Chains A and B, each alone.
Chain A
Amino acid sequence: KAGVTQTPRYLIKTRGQQVTLSCSPISGHRSVSWYQQTPGQGLQFLFEYFSETQRNKGNFPGRFSGRQFSNSRSEMNVSTLELGDSALYLCASSLGLAGGLGEQYFGPGTRLTVT
């Protein structure tokens, strides 16, 4: 069974630009969660989507947004990029909501560098 895929794997953007990252969950998984990982803050929860609805949201500014499509694929968008947005963005999928005990499967991440 194919794992979680994320595209692109690497991205370099300039301050002020916007970026869209994509995540394809494992077939049959309906929940997709997004995380930001940085050396200073570690892994921080951004948001979770289940059946095309945002079910949970972390403490990030409104510049960070996401959506989920009917095929469970998800995208996250960051507008007006700041240097501090440079991070590894991880997507994780699970059968049910991540708040349950179901196992989350992480993708390899998208490494975003903002210059």
Chain B
Amino acid sequence: TQLLEQSPQFLSIQEGENLTVYCNSSSVFSSLQWYRQEPGEGPVLLVTVVTGGEVKKLKRLTFQFGDARKDSSLHITAAQPGDTGLYLCAGLQPKYGNKLVFGAGTILRVKS
């Protein structure tokens, strides 16, 4: 059983479309991170959110942390082929100590 549920698992869209990826848990996060991983590479940190209700923007990417700090979303506006990759959320939950727990990931493919 995944402690962090990510949805959808797969997403295939056309260039220019918008999309949202979700990360949910029944437990509270002390902080949550989003990573992007390309084939043959390790994950690269995109953002860390800490405060409930926090919204952070990174160019065309918008990250939101739920008010109760149990969920998060990643929204991409006008997706580009270069956005293709595996998107992972990872959270620190007090009940699991200082271990970063990862979701299963969302595979995004943006077609030109």
Contacts and interface: CB of A to CB of B under 8 A. Distances in A.
Most buried by B among A43, A106, A107, A108: A43
A106 B44 contact: yes
Contacts of A56: 97-99
Contact of B42 (A42, A58, A92, A101): A92
B99 A104 contact: no
A109 B42 contact: yes
Given A58-B99, A99-B98, A103-B48, A42 B43 contact: no
Interface in B26-62: 31, 35, 40-45, 48, 50
Nearest to A47: B99
Interface of A: 4, 33, 35, 42-45, 48, 55-56, 58, 90, 92, 97-101, 103-109
Nearest to A98: B100
Nearest to A88: B42
A42 B2 contact: yes
Contacts, number: 57
Contacts of B43: 43, 90, 106
Interface of B: 2, 31, 35, 40-45, 48, 50, 88, 90, 92, 97-105
A75 to B, nearest CB: 17
A104 B2 contact: no
Most buried by A among B50, B99, B104, B105: B99
13 contacts: A33-B100, A42-B88, A44-B102, A45-B99, A45-B101, A48-B98, A92-B42, A97-B98, A99-B99, A99-B100, A104-B100, A106-B44, A108-B40
Contacts of B2: 42
A56 B97 CA distance: 8
Contacts of A55: 98
Given A42-B2, A42-B105, A107 B42 contact: yes
Nearest to A40: B104
A101 B99 contact: no
A99 B99 CA distance: 6
B101 to A, nearest CB: 7
A26 B104 CA distance: 27
